[in-house]
């Protein structure tokens, strides 16, 4: 993966600094209006517990590696609720933790060293926030003071969001993580938690563990010494919510 935590920030930041003084709180997008007001962009877990995995063997371990991979990718992409967390390395180490609600809503964090960015996507609208170290690195001390506790609002089609887009799309994130893989082969049985899996590996040393009970979901991806992504909380409902309007800085040039 070739992404940088601050790669798309400077232009958005400069515009935000220029317009903040003259702009009142941004109104919520059409999608956001349907969400309940919260103290910040977040994913609130439902009271419903995560369903127990089916004890029925799904038969996927008997298939050829390419078939296993294809079915696992399709099942994972179709999951309504899932949480993806872990670490990826691209010259720098990134910690990620995102919760997905359906195909168009996601919220979570991306961290590089002590710099942390928060991203929430609702439809075509992106809300981006960060800790003080993130804002200071992106735009200096003044940016940290001005934007602390604020959310920049932009669209998913913005060039400034492009560098980060892969992190908030579970299918793209999956594809990016395994795109170097060649010649998948079965390594045998494994287990992630209490769930039995079939393990696939490729010539680059990447490994994927796929559930052999219930739906053939991807449960764990590992690559090299540093890359590790866990796919957890399948089917555990969350509600992705927009931040309150008073904390949103709308950047007109990006909308």
Q: What is the pLDDT of residue 42?
A: 57
* Tens digit of each residue's pLDDT, the chain (255 residues): 444 434 444 344 433 333 333 333 333 333 333 333 333 455 554 433 333 445 699 999 999 999 999 999 999 999 999 999 998 876 778 899 999 999 889 999 988 889 898 999 999 999 989 898 888 887 777 777 888 889 989 888 877 677 677 777 777 777 776 665 568 899 999 999 999 999 999 888 889 999 999 999 999 999 877 789 999 999 999 999 999 999 998 875 444
pTM, full prediction: 0.77
Strands 105-112 and 115-122, sheet pairing: antiparallel
DSSP structure class, residue 117: E
Q: What is the pLDDT of residue 80?
A: 94
- The fold of the 9-254 domain, in CATH, is outer membrane lipoprotein receptor (LolB), chain A (2.50.20)
Rounded Cα gap, residues 131 and 148, in angstroms:
7
Long-range pairs of 78-81 with CB within 8 A, sequence gap ≥ 24: 79/170, 79/215, 79/217, 79/234, 79/235, 80/235, 81/233, 81/234, 81/235, 81/236, 81/237, 81/238
Q: Are 245 and 23 in contact (CB under 8 A)?
A: no
Q: What is the pLDDT of residue 97?
A: 94
Rounded Cα gap, residues 208 and 55, in angstroms:
21
Rounded Cα gap, residues 74 and 102, in angstroms:
14
- Residues in the chain, how many? 255
Q: What is the pLDDT of residue 231?
A: 94
DSSP structure class, residue 192: E
Q: What is the pLDDT of residue 12?
A: 40
Q: What is the pLDDT of residue 41?
A: 55
Give the torsion through C-alpha atoms of 173, 176, 177, 181, to 10 deg.
150
Q: What is the pLDDT of residue 33?
A: 35
């Amino acid at each position: 993966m070739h992404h940088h935590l601050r790669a798309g920030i400077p232009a958005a930041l400069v515009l935000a600094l220029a317009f903040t003084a003259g702009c009142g709180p941004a109104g919520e997008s059409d999608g956001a209006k349907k969400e309940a007001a919260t103290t910040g962009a977040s994913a609130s877990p439902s009271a419903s517990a995560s369903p127990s995995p089916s004890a029925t063997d799904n038969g996927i371990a008997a298939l050829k590696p390419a078939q296993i991979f294809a079915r696992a990718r399709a099942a994972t992409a179709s999951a309504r609720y899932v949480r993806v967390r872990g670490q990826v390395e691209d010259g720098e180490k990134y910690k990620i933790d995102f919760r997905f609600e359906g195909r168009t809503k996601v919220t979570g964090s991306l961290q590089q060293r002590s710099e942390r960015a928060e991203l929430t996507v609702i439809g075509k609208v992106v809300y981006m926030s960060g800790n003080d170290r993130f804002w200071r690195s992106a735009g200096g001390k003044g940016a940290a003071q001005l934007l602390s506790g604020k959310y920049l609002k932009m669209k998913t089609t913005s060039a400034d969001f492009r560098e980060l887009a892969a992190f908030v799309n579970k299918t793209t994130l999956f594809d990016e993580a395994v795109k170097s893989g060649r010649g998948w082969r079965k390594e045998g049985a494994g287990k992630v938690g209490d769930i039995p899996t079939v393990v696939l590996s490729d010539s680059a040393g990447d490994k994927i563990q796929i559930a052999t009970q219930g739906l053939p979901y991807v449960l764990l991806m590992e690559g090299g010494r540093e890359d590790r992504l866990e796919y957890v909380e399948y089917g555990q409902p969350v509600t992705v919510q927009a931040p309150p309007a008073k904390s949103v800085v709308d950047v007109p040039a990006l909308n």
